[in-house]
């Protein structure tokens, strides 16, 4: 991805806005972290966080730089509002998470999602599932950090390594100091920042369109970009109703129901009811958020269609190019968009670091330790592990510059495999009385192999499968193979 040298687009006022965000994040972390002197307080916020703060954290954690920049790029093209079919599935999946998974997580004093699997299958299943989470989370979020660094490189003219390190250092500081409370409250602030940046962009872009809102809405309707539904089934097309509703729902069951980064937020709620409110309401907010950034993409399409203007590239380059070329200079708005990009990246990174530290401590360190760990020692280890994962993800991000874009895209897809495989394992535990630990491990192995075959298509005759279906394929093959293995090898229960 070539660098757009655009430091001239960023004036002192814009840099001031950016600095305020970075310093403010550290200050919030220091204040929120006071009293985090136990594992419960540090890793789960004392299980006393309000549901609306958890809601904001869930949405901000799910939102990466791709949402802020690439979703407008998708709407700019042929997709238009058809992206909205996918968050409809996300909302449906969240209702199922609240009904099926949350009751199990609130039985006992759990610290991670994978403790449930140990009760059902055994310690090996718990550790393998946690390890799968750790590997895919570190790889995926390290690559997302790299993509966010590319954006800062293009907007600020900073070196990629410098962009990555600034985001990493600030995020690690407030995450290490404050634990989950710092992460959640910073997520809420970052959510407000990037949404405010999106709303400001709507008005900036509309002011650049000749004819204003009437022309924009007429053009959008005539071009078919406001049509949200496509009921024609196509396995290779991610933007049809069936892929959105079914694939999106199953993907959400995997991410919201089995990914510890999200489950950790549920466990920090005051009650199961509060956790359910946060999970379900977050689906509505995500839908509205997609609506905002998709509309920005439609605005950009209208702007560049007028007078035959040439768009600055494709995908996320379109929105970035508009910010560089057409946002008011040194008025704080470019700084606001930089803050929005940073907020989206840092919210995901901080959540990943804290959840990864929690998984290592509770799924590996404590169970394998020969002597009990004091509360102070657990907090100390959590901070060291958070720092370690921060360094690891920064290294992944910087090294990703040596990879081609296709390799990065494929690696991100593989990082998403865990949602389907873990959902398949959890489904075996919930729906099958016969399956034991051996069957669960066989199922997970088969699920991973099938997903790799579907993704890389070693046989050309295999159909192309769109990404919303991958979680369903991974979950169903894991469950089916595990159940078959149980029938063939394990006694009836």
pLDDT tens-digit readout, 151-194: 888 777 889 999 899 999 999 999 998 899 999 999 999 899 99
Alpha carbon distance 43, 36 (integer Å):
9
Which whole number is the average pLDDT over 210-228? 91
Helices (H), 77-122: 85-96, 102-105, 115-120
| Helix extents (H) in 306-460 | 316-326, 333-360, 366-368, 375-399, 405-415, 417-431, 437-456
Average pLDDT, rounded, for the chain: 89
Torsion of CA 113, 116, 117, 123, to 10 degrees: 100
**Packed helices 160-208 and 123-156: angle between N→C axes, nearest 10 degrees:** 70
User: Where are the chain's structural domains?
Assistant: 11-402, 416-493
The answer to whether residues 33 and 182 touch, using CB atoms and an 8 Å cutoff, is yes
- Please give the pLDDT value at position 492: 58
pLDDT at position 7: 46
- Residues 91, 95, 97, 99: what is their CA dihedral angle, to the nearest 10 degrees? 180
Whether the per-residue pLDDT at 266 is higher than 90: the answer is yes
Q: What is the spatial distance between Cα 335 and Cα 322, in angstroms, rounded to a whole number?
A: 14
Q: At residue 269, what are phi and psi to the nearest 5 degrees?
A: -75, 160
pLDDT of residue 5: 42
Task: Judge contact between 16 and 335, C-beta under 8 A.
Answer: yes
Which distant-in-sequence residues (6+ apart) come within 8 Å of 404 by Cβ?
none
pLDDT number for residue 13: 84
Q: State the virtual CA torsion across 430, 433, 434, 436 in degrees, nearest 10.
A: 50
How does pLDDT run across 43-101, given as a tens digit for each residue? Answer: 998 899 999 999 999 999 988 877 888 889 889 988 889 999 999 999 999 999 999 99
Per CATH, the number for 11-402 is 1.20.1730.10
Report the alpha-carbon distance of residue 257 to residue 259 in Å, rounded: 6
Length of the chain, in residues: 493
Query: Which of 6, 19, 5, 8 has the alpha carbon at shortest distance from 336?
Result: 19
* Number of C-beta neighbours around residue 91 at 10 A: 20
pLDDT tens sequence across 407-450: 666 766 777 889 999 999 999 999 988 899 999 999 999 999 99
Q: Which residue has the higher pLDDT, 484 or 152?
A: 484
Once rounded to an integer, what is the mean pLDDT over residues 465-475? Answer: 93
- Is the model's pLDDT at 341 over the cut of 50? yes
Given a contact cutoff of 8 angstroms between Cβ atoms, the answer to whether 87 and 71 are in contact is no
The Cα-based distances of 57 to 61, 81, 176, 279 in angstroms read 6, 25, 17, 10
Q: What angle do CA 387, 263, 377 make, to 5 degrees?
A: 40
**Looking at the DSSP assignment, which residues form a beta bridge with residue 269?**
49
Q: Is the pLDDT of residue 330 over 80?
A: no
Q: Which residue has the higher pLDDT, 406 or 319?
A: 319
Q: What is the mean pLDDT of residues 353-366?
A: 94
């Amino acid at each position: 991805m070539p660098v757009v040298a655009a430091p001239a687009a960023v004036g002192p006022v814009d840099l001031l806005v950016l600095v305020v965000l970075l310093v403010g994040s550290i200050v919030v972390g220091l204040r929120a972290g006071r009293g985090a002197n136990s594992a419960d307080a540090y890793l789960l916020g004392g299980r006393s966080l309000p549901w609306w703060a958890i809601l904001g954290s869930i949405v901000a954690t799910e939102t990466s730089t791709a949402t802020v920049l690439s979703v407008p790029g998708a709407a700019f093209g042929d997709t238009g509002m058809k992206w909205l079919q996918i968050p409809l599935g996300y909302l449906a999946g969240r209702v199922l998470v609240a009904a099926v998974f949350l009751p199990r997580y609130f039985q006992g004093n759990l610290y991670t999602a994978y403790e449930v699997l140990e009760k059902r299958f055994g310690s090996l299943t718990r550790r393998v599932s946690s390890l799968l989470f750790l590997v895919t989370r570190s790889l995926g979020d390290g690559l997302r950090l790299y993509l966010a660094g590319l954006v800062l490189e293009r907007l600020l003219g900073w070196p990629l390594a410098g962009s990555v390190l600034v985001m990493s250092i600030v995020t690690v500081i407030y995450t290490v100091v404050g634990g989950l409370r710092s992460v959640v409250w910073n997520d809420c602030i970052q959510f407000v920042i990037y949404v405010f940046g999106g709303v400001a962009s709507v008005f900036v872009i509309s002011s650049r369109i000749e004819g204003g809102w009437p022309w924009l809405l007429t053009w959008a309707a005539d071009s078919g970009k406001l049509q949200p539904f496509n009921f024609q089934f196509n396995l290779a097309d991610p933007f049809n109703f069936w892929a959105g509703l079914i694939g999106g729902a199953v993907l959400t069951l995997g991410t919201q129901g089995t990914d510890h980064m999200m489950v950790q937020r549920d466990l920090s709620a005051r009650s199961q009811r509060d956790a359910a409110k946060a999970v379900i309401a977050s689906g509505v907010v995500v839908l509205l958020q997609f609506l905002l950034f998709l509309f920005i993409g439609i605005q950009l399409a209208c702007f560049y269609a007028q007078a035959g203007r040439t768009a600055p590239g494709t995908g996320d380059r379109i929105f970035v190019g508009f910010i560089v070329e057409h946002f008011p200079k040194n008025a704080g708005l470019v700084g606001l968009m930089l803050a929005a990009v940073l907020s989206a990246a840092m919210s995901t990174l901080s959540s990943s670091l804290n959840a990864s530290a929690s998984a290592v401590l509770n799924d590996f360190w404590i169970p394998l330790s020969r002597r009990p760990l004091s509360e102070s020692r657990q907090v100390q280890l959590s901070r060291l592990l958070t720092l370690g994962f921060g360094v690891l993800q920064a290294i992944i991000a910087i090294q990703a510059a040596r990879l081609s874009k296709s390799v990065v895209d494929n690696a991100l897809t593989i990082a998403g495999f865990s949602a389907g495989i873990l959902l398949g394992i959890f489904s075996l535990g919930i729906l099958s009385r016969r399956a034991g630990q051996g069957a669960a491990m066989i199922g997970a192995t088969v699920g991973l192999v099938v997903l790799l075959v579907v993704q890389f298509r070693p046989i050309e005759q295999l159909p192309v499968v769109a990404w919303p279906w991958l979680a369903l394929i991974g979950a169903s093959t894991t469950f089916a193979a595990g159940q078959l293995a149980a029938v063939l090898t394990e006694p009836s229960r």
